Amino acid sequence: MQGLSKKEIEIVSWLEFNEKYFFTGDDIQKFSKSKTQRYNIIKRLIKKKRIVKLNRRKYYLIPIKAKSGSWSVHPFAISHEACDGKNYFIGGWAAAEYWKLTDQIPMQVDVFTTRRQGKLKVLNAKIFFHRTTKKRVENAVIKDLGGYLFRIEKRQRAKKWLKSRS
């Protein structure tokens, strides 16, 4: 991991002090004179592995207290932030494990959303995005995990999904 400049330390410590672990470029606007300078600061912090890009606008801060650069919140919270908190739900093995329907620890988090697809790797969390309908998203429930909200498939649907796997 490379060293940080004075301005980068100022930005990272300000974000950490204000507990803005998930932030946008607008949150650090006061540290730059132009949009280009702000873009370059973000690009350098990504290269130095102090922030991780979640989507087009949102980033995740790896705090200074993470000495080796391996610090992460729960993948459910990362999924929530990557989808901007709407039009998604967590399903598959992750939902089955959350509802304690299986003892198997999932190797990935399956996120069903109406907006994106593909995969996202944030430190040690693998998040796979699948397309789904708005109707299926509305059937999800909102839960709280240590101060982070997330949407997850209902217990009955997760149980039905698990039975279809065996």
Whole-prediction pTM: 0.81
Residue 152 pLDDT exceeds 80:
yes
The pLDDT of residue 107 is: 92
pLDDT band at 1 (very low <50, low <70, confident <90, very high): very low
Contact 165, 110 (CB under 8 A): no
| Angle ∠(98,100,103) on CA atoms, nearest 5 | 105
Residue 12 pLDDT exceeds 50:
yes
> Smallest Cα–Cα separation from 70: which of 15, 22, 123, 23?
123
* 53 CB neighbour count, 10 Å cutoff: 16
Alpha-carbon gap, residue 126 to 160, rounded angstroms: 24
Q: Please report where in the chains the tokens 């999904």 appear, as a residue.
A: 161
Query: pLDDT per residue over 18-55, tens digit each?
Result: 989 899 999 999 999 999 999 999 999 999 988 999 98
pLDDT band at 116 (very low <50, low <70, confident <90, very high): confident
Alpha-carbon gap, residue 26 to 35, rounded angstroms: 9
Q: Where exactly are the structural domains of the chain?
A: 6-61, 75-165
Query: What CATH architecture applies to the domain 6-61?
Result: Orthogonal Bundle (1.10)
- Pick the more confident residue, 166 or 54: 54
Q: What is the DSSP letter of 16?
A: H
The pLDDT of residue 71 is: 62
The pLDDT of residue 39 is: 94
Average pLDDT over residues 107-133: 91
pLDDT band at 68 (very low <50, low <70, confident <90, very high): low
Residue 67 pLDDT exceeds 90:
no
